[in-house]
Amino acid sequence: MVSTTLLTLLLGVTGVFALPPIPSPSSSAKDLRLCKTSPTDPGIWITEEEKFTRFISKKINFVDITDTPNLEALAAEKATNLQVSTASIESAFPSGPAHQSQAAPLISALSQANLQTWTNGLANFYTRYYKSSYAPQAATWLYDTVVSVAKANPTITVRKFNHSYSMPSIIAKIPGTTNSVVVVSAHYDSVGSTASGRAPGADDDASGVVVILEALRVLAAAKFKPSGPSLEFHFYSGEEGGLLGSRDVMNDYRTRNVDVLAVVNQDMTGYSPNNVIAIFDDYVSLPLTSFLKTLVPAYTQLKVLTDRCGYACSDHASATAAGFPAAYVCEDSMNDSSPYIHSAQDAVSTVNFAHVLQHAKFTVGFLVEASYF
């Protein structure tokens, strides 16, 4: 079993800095949002419209910490109370895969057709931008789909995690035998070239959503029972608005002292000119990341590529901020990932579903391995 996890991350993570003071809003700060673009940035108060013009439209990574201003402080406080050696941190994750025979029949049950059908379903919404009128509709569609997939195993629970905006995150849980949790995640909101523009978000990030959805389907159909931690499938909203959904969830988990052993986030899985699986090595747990690199050749037909994506590039950053071991898996390097994201051209026709299937194989392999942590 993996030991208590916070210091695992903080001693094995890249990109941890001292916390800056949080600025106070001006007296006219009604409806303003506090956003930051680096760990040392104290943040600025801006409107929702400015959030789009300053950051989203320019593809600048940022975090909206308005609703979760104390997340990093909670993690830092927890870290000071832990006494764990560097040696135990490095050995917290296995050196490589050990349960391929258990994973093989589950991987053989994966369906590429399902991946394409569900991607079409998500991309059919005009936009899934978290502030749009379509957001609640997309949430209902995905919640109903997750419930339908999970019903093969009545022990699986599915719930909505509500936020300050009308697009809940969705969490499915396969109960294990311990109080610990392992998470796989993706975000289901999208954004276009304007806040109200067409945003099919087929690759970004319907392709990540369908990967963990199909993994859930296969494990549910097999009535898979983890030998250790519970397995959770997180479908976050509001990622394009500054990691809103994932920060809310991770803030809740940190506040409640949920024992999160690992978080593996996938954001874009369907466009890979190099035909690789990319595993990023900044703002992540390095021991967890090293373990994941061993799983790619074991469970897929692809090679591993490593890259760096900077501060707050996707929802794994929220788990990192909360002090949980997190990793980020993507379709290719930053330079070679889809050029169509955040536009009306991020269409289903640009997605390589054979490549998405490889991510699904990797995900099932990871979940089986993690069920023994």
- Sign of the CA dihedral with 205 first, then 210, 211, and 212 last: positive
100 Cβ neighbours under 8 A, 6+ residues apart: 298, 299, 365
Query: Global pTM?
Result: 0.93
* Lowest mean pLDDT segment, chosen from 1-5, 153-157, 292-296: 1-5
**What does the pLDDT read at residue 331?**
98
Contact criterion met (CB below 8 Å) for 210 and 357: no
17 Cβ neighbours under 8 A, 6+ residues apart: 39, 40
Spatial separation of the C-alpha atoms in residues 120 and 140, rounded to whole Å: 16
pLDDT of 185 higher than 70: yes
| CA 241 from centre of chain | 14
Fold of 6-16+85-370: Aminopeptidase (3.40.630)
Contact criterion met (CB below 8 Å) for 88 and 12: no
Residue-wise pLDDT tens digits, 211-235: 999 999 999 999 999 999 999 999 9
Residue-wise pLDDT tens digits, 84-142: 544 455 558 999 999 999 999 999 999 999 999 999 999 999 999 999 999 999 999 99
Residue-wise pLDDT tens digits, 32-69: 999 999 999 999 999 999 999 999 999 999 999 999 99
Closest among 149, 167, 166 to 158, alpha carbons compared: 149
pLDDT of 304 higher than 70: yes
- The domains of the chain are located at 6-16+85-370
Over range 256-284, report the average pLDDT. Answer: 97
Which tokens hold the place of 276? 């690789």
pLDDT of 29 higher than 70: no
**What does the pLDDT read at residue 21?**
63
**17 or 357: which leads in pLDDT:** 357
pLDDT of 335 higher than 90: yes
